[in-house]
Amino acid sequence: MTLFSSIEPVRYEGPETANEFAYRVYDKDREVLGKRMEDWLRCAVCYWHSFNWPGADIFGGGTLPRPWLAPKITQEMADEKLEAAFDFLKRLGIPYFTFHDVDAMATAATLKEHDRNLRTITEKMQQKMAAAGTKLLWGTANLFSHPRYAGGAATSPDPEVYAWAAAQVRFCLEATQRMGGENYVLWGGREGYDSLLNTDLKRELDHYGRFLSMVVEHKHRIGFKGTILIEPKPFEPTKHQYDRDVAAVFAFLQKYGLTKEVRVNIEVNHATLAGLDFEHEVTAARAYGIFGSIDINRGDPRNGWDTDQFPNNAQELVPAFIQLIEEKGFATGGFNFDAKLRRQSVDADDLYLAHIGGIDTLARALLAAADIVTERKLARLKQERYQRWDSDLGARIESGAIDLATLADLAVERNLDPAPKSGRQELAESIIARHCKY
């Protein structure tokens, strides 16, 4: 018996069910455009918000029943947490989870102890994973909570902090590999600054670039087959985070020669904090060839911080899902619920209800996007908008065969006078809206 044992395994019961602990839309074996729903979505529960967060915020302490939590977590407490987490995962019935080193292990004071405690818990995790049939979507090292990382980890002004971070990443990357993890994530929570007055930005970026190169070198040395992912976020906790959005990450990867080695884990709430649409980030990542994975928690449009809420608006997600379908799905990524309960959601059941609602929302968005892609109206609208580029003139420009002066001469000679053409935005928006019927 654990905190999460009161619920029967969650199953698909269809849209008419009155059971709140059943999936109404998420039917894992349902075929959508030739692929099982489960394989499109590759859903993951995150260990930190779900099991390692007591419901504290900056104004008050924990509200959620998480008896295995304390400032110093013993091995017994880590084991109790593991028991509860895998009980939940097994009953929820989705294929993946994600974790930070410190979410799972007993608290460690030294690096040797850190290594030992991480090995202890991840060995036990592997047994649980085998028994529950749960896989690891990604692992990551927490390089932002401990006071030593207040000034950053890979961008710390102190090389000894940098070395600590390197050790933590090495241990966690190797643990992720042993666990069959499909990706390894770096979220640079404090890789940025609070003030430029005390920050050597150029030096920090070079240190960060070298750090990432070392991670990639080590990945190849140990033969880790997963993808290395950077998770962009514009700010919070620092005032400015270097990985502010997909474009900034791509520029960084280009400067340090890593565009073929590292991809992005895009979080909905981070995109909106950057003043961007979620679908913008997915579309940009695809354009740059660095699309990797998604953290699917949303923000609240009324406030400007990272509220990490479970998604519940399918229509909002459909444009990004169209991108995902055009991409033919994730390669190694998936949808990670990097989402937390509200502080008043104090029942054990609330964690189920939150995930079930979120997973059904993804299923709804997938079905709507699949219909839109199959219908092809939206695709045709876009194609027609660019049709003039399929002309001889378009081909000459796109192939690079024409220079500025020749192009200018041609425009003058032909007396070009292109007529304005409708962008059909309202029609495009209506197409999305009318397919959201699941």
Q: List the interface residues with ligand XUL, window 184-213 (CB under 6 A).
A: 185, 187
Q: List the interface residues with ligand XUL, window 227-286 (CB under 6 A).
A: 231, 233, 267
Whether 158 is a known active-site residue: answer no
Cβ atoms of 329 and 292 closer than 8 Å: no
Instruction: With CA atoms as reference, report the closest residue to 327 among 363, 358, 283.
Output: 283
**What's the rounded Cα separation, in Å, for the pair 29 and 66?**
33
Please say which residue, 21 or 330, places its beta carbon nearer to Co ion.
330
Residues that bind Co ion in the complex, under the rule CB under 5 A: 267, 295, 338
Please say which residue, 83 or 338, places its beta carbon nearer to ligand XUL.
338
Angle of helix 425-435 relative to helix 377-385, nearest 10 degrees, comes to 170
Pairing of strands 335-337, 291-295: parallel
Cis peptide before 232 (omega within 30 of 0): no
Token digits for 95?
């294929």
Residue type present at position 124: K
- From the list Co ion, ligand XUL, none, which binds 81 (C-beta under 5 to 8 Å, kind-based)? none
Query: In the complex, what is the shortest distance from the CB of residue 410 to Co ion, in angstroms, rounded to a whole number?
Result: 50
Q: Which residue has the tokens 């000679």?
A: 413
Q: Which of 49, 100, 270, 280 is catalytic?
A: 100
Could you give phi then psi for residue 230, rounded to 5 degrees?
Answer: -105, 140
Could you give phi then psi for residue 375, rounded to 5 degrees?
Answer: -65, -35
Member of 52, 117, 134, 140 binding ligand XUL (CB under 6 A)? 140
**What's the rounded Cα separation, in Å, for the pair 210 and 217?**
10
Query: In the complex, what is the shortest distance from the CB of residue 187 to ligand XUL, in angstroms, rounded to a whole number?
Result: 4
Q: Which of 27, 87, 101, 103 is catalytic?
A: 103
Please say which residue, 279 or 295, places its beta carbon nearer to Co ion.
295
**What's the rounded Cα separation, in Å, for the pair 155 and 170?**
17
**What's the rounded Cα separation, in Å, for the pair 98 and 118?**
15
Query: In the complex, what is the shortest distance from the CB of residue 339 to ligand XUL, in angstroms, rounded to a whole number?
Result: 10
Member of 80, 243, 338, 371 binding ligand XUL (CB under 6 A)? 338
Query: In the complex, what is the shortest distance from the CB of residue 153 to ligand XUL, in angstroms, rounded to a whole number?
Result: 12
**What's the rounded Cα separation, in Å, for the pair 234 and 216?**
24
Query: In the complex, what is the shortest distance from the CB of residue 183 to Co ion, in angstroms, rounded to a whole number?
Result: 13
**What's the rounded Cα separation, in Å, for the pair 62 and 66?**
9
Q: List the interface residues with ligand XUL, window 94-113 (CB under 6 A).
A: 100
Please say which residue, 267 or 371, places its beta carbon nearer to ligand XUL.
267
Instruction: With CA atoms as reference, report the closest residue to 98 among 322, 265, 262, 234.
Output: 265
Residue 306 within binding range of ligand XUL, rule CB under 6 A: yes
- From the list Co ion, ligand XUL, none, which binds 174 (C-beta under 5 to 8 Å, kind-based)? none
Please say which residue, 86 or 99, places its beta carbon nearer to ligand XUL.
99
Whether 49 is a known active-site residue: answer no
- From the list Co ion, ligand XUL, none, which binds 101 (C-beta under 5 to 8 Å, kind-based)? none
- From the list ligand XUL, Co ion, none, which binds 233 (C-beta under 5 to 8 Å, kind-based)? ligand XUL
Token digits for 432?
């999305």
3-class secondary-structure state, position 39: helix
Query: In the complex, what is the shortest distance from the CB of residue 262 to ligand XUL, in angstroms, rounded to a whole number?
Result: 15
Q: List the interface residues with ligand XUL, window 170-189 (CB under 6 A).
A: 185, 187
The footprint of ligand XUL (CB under 6 A) covers 100, 140, 185, 187, 231, 233, 267, 295, 306, 338
Q: Which residues are catalytically annotated?
A: 100, 103
